[in-house]
Amino acid sequence: MIDIKKIEKNEVIPGWEKGYKEVYRSCLANRGEDVALVDRALEYNQKRKEIVQFVEATKSEQNKMSQEIVKLKKAGEDASGILKEMQKLSAQGKEKGKELEGVESELNNLMQTLPNICHFETPMGASEAQNVEKKVFGEKPSFDFKIKDHVDLGENLGILDFETAGKVTGARFSYLKGKGALLERALTQFMLNMHTIDHAYEEISTPFIVNATSMYGTGQLPKFKDDAFQVSDTDFFLIPTAEVPVTNYYAKEILAEEDLPKYFVAGTPCFRSEAGSYGKDTRGLFRQHQFIKVELMKFAHPDNSYEEHEKLTQNAEKVLEALGLHYRRMELCTGDMGYGAAKCFDLEVWLPGQDQFREISSCSNFEDFQARRANIRFRPKGGKPQFVHTINGSGLAVGRTLIAVLENYQNKDGSIEVPEVLRPYMAGLKSITL
């Protein structure tokens, strides 16, 4: 959630060298949002302040009248006139109090759906066509035979079963069997080991169900409720990503400045209804309702959060590089970036079966957007508590990494070579064959 006070003050933002209000308007326009929402928020807030001022003035006047009534009664004089005036004033105050509740509700509802302000380095643009390529690793693999996609490879090897999953559950679910299940487990363990041992993240095992307050804290509610699986007749939700339970670990808490930054990594199943992607990527494992993801999460000091954002992105890249997978880093423009992010890099891996790069990790700096919603702060030495900056990214999406391994390491006979770094996690297995 953005801070309405920053829009009102309209102070110049370093890097932009423009006032906050002008910058935010520009960001809204480039995200495809209605710029008029800024004025609406300011109008609601101004009305709120006017009502608050009236209610406070009313209470003050009532207190004065109450004291006067006491004096009159002690002196044996008639206080009925003042009493009637006080009752009238009290009724007006209650009426304004109800109006205040309505205005505050409208303001809060609006502020909950407004996107984050953009970092000054974020490219301005309306769609992914304006994303900027920042880095390329490796080269496209070449094959001297007709390649298959991961669905054909997996089904031919007997390690992927979509038909049975469709019978047991429905579309966009799958079974991984035998060496396929082993490969998924190996990838997950390999990623967790790399991030904990090489990159100094603390592993955390989280709940897979969270409450609505936690979903609100990271920005999934109310804007993306349709993308979530809610437990019937409760305020519980299946986690769409470990970002939700990990970020909310410090909700409503104040950290010590010397404890920042904090690094966490979690490997969890994730559940998404994919309500906005009907008919898109329905083949195979790429966009499923249930998948495993290794999530990287940081709580950082505002002064160095972008340094930490870069490190986190590099940590995710190291997984792809260790697996020998061709990928590129894309800096997302305003129109393609998630609504809570101030700056975001997508890592896109090359998938031969699709003959294109596809996103395998999004690494975002939310600045204080999530921390403000979840009330996560730190206390500088000798100062007042401030909101931390939150940073997260996939390190990596395991199912999409499995797709990349199957398609990039396929052989002419339909077998799959196991990347060398994964072999210790697969009992020394060098290839997946029938």
14 found inside a domain: no
- The CATH code of the domain that includes 104 is 1.10.287.40
CA neighbor of 285 nearest in space, from 186, 398, 420, 384: 398
Distance CA 277, CA 346 (A): 19
For 20-174, list the strands marked E by DSSP: 132-137, 160-161
* Residue 83: per-residue pLDDT: 87
CB 12 within 8 A of CB 24: no
CA neighbor of 403 nearest in space, from 148, 189, 172, 178: 148
379 found inside a domain: yes
CA distances from 75 to 66, 71, 87, 89, 296 (A): 14, 6, 21, 24, 73
Is the confidence at residue 196, as pLDDT, over 70?
yes
Tokens describing residue 95? 């009426």
Q: Quick one: 59 and 136 in the same domain? A: no
**Look-up of token digits 């709580």:** 299
**Look-up of token digits 């940081």:** 298
Distance CA 215, CA 211 (A): 7
334 found inside a domain: yes
Is the confidence at residue 12, as pLDDT, over 80?
yes
Q: Quick one: 137 and 258 in the same domain? A: yes
Q: Quick one: 251 and 136 in the same domain? A: yes
- The CATH code of the domain that includes 328 is 3.30.930.10
Residues 6+ apart with CB under 8 A from 391: 297, 298, 300, 305, 308, 309, 312, 363, 364, 365, 366
415 found inside a domain: yes
Note the pLDDT tens digit of each residue in 327-371: 999 999 999 999 999 999 999 999 999 999 999 999 999 999 999
CA neighbor of 334 nearest in space, from 102, 113, 118: 118
Q: Quick one: 371 and 315 in the same domain? A: yes
Q: What are phi and psi of 279, to 5 degrees?
A: 80, 5
Q: Quick one: 236 and 331 in the same domain? A: yes
Return the bridge partners of 364, or none.
344, 392
22 found inside a domain: no
Q: What is the rounded radius of gyration, in angstroms, for the C-alpha atoms of the chain? A: 27
**Beta-carbon count within 10 A of 202 CB:** 12
* Residue 243: per-residue pLDDT: 98
CA neighbor of 117 nearest in space, from 377, 387, 341, 373: 341
CB 159 within 8 A of CB 176: yes
Residues 6+ apart with CB under 8 A from 374: 214, 217, 218, 247, 248, 250, 251, 252
327 sits in the region (left: phi over 0; alpha: psi -120 to 50; else beta) called beta
Return the bridge partners of 137, or none.
327
The residue out of 67, 89, 113 marking a domain boundary is 113
Distance CA 231, CA 141 (A): 44
Residue 345, helix vs strand vs coil? strand
* Residue 276: per-residue pLDDT: 61
Q: Quick one: 106 and 133 in the same domain? A: no
Return the bridge partners of 268, or none.
293
pLDDT category of residue 93 using cuts at 50, 70 and 90? confident
Distance CA 50, CA 100 (A): 9
Residue 394 belongs to what H/E stretch?
Answer: strand 389-397
Distance CA 57, CA 79 (A): 22
* Residue 324: per-residue pLDDT: 98
Q: Quick one: 178 and 207 in the same domain? A: yes
The residue out of 113, 145, 180 marking a domain boundary is 113
Task: Tell me the torsion sign for CA atoms 189, 191, 195, 197.
Answer: positive
* Residues in the chain, total: 434
Distance CA 340, CA 114 (A): 9
Least confident of 14-28, 186-200, 306-320: 14-28
Tell me how many domains the chain contains: 2
pLDDT category of residue 25 using cuts at 50, 70 and 90? very high
**DSSP-based helix, strand, coil % in the chain, nearest 5:** 45, 20, 35
pLDDT category of residue 279 using cuts at 50, 70 and 90? low
Q: Quick one: 360 and 418 in the same domain? A: yes
DSSP code for 226: G
6 found inside a domain: no
Q: What is the mean pLDDT of the chain?
A: 95
Amino acid at 284: G
200 found inside a domain: yes
Q: Quick one: 246 and 307 in the same domain? A: yes
Note the pLDDT tens digit of each residue in 212-242: 999 999 999 999 999 999 999 999 999 999 9
* Residue 277: per-residue pLDDT: 61
Q: Quick one: 49 and 187 in the same domain? A: no
Distance CA 38, CA 33 (A): 10
Distance CA 62, CA 120 (A): 50
pLDDT category of residue 79 using cuts at 50, 70 and 90? confident
Least confident of 201-210, 281-290, 360-369: 281-290
pTM of the model: 0.94
DSSP code for 159: -
* Residue 278: per-residue pLDDT: 58
Return the bridge partners of 416, or none.
410, 432
The residue out of 113, 148, 171 marking a domain boundary is 113
Q: Quick one: 164 and 284 in the same domain? A: yes
> What is the crossing angle of helices 179-193 and 150-157, to 10°?
120
243 found inside a domain: yes
Note the pLDDT tens digit of each residue in 124-173: 998 999 999 999 999 999 999 999 999 999 999 999 999 999 999 999 99
Domain of 295?
Answer: 128-432
CB 183 within 8 A of CB 402: yes
Q: Quick one: 101 and 173 in the same domain? A: no
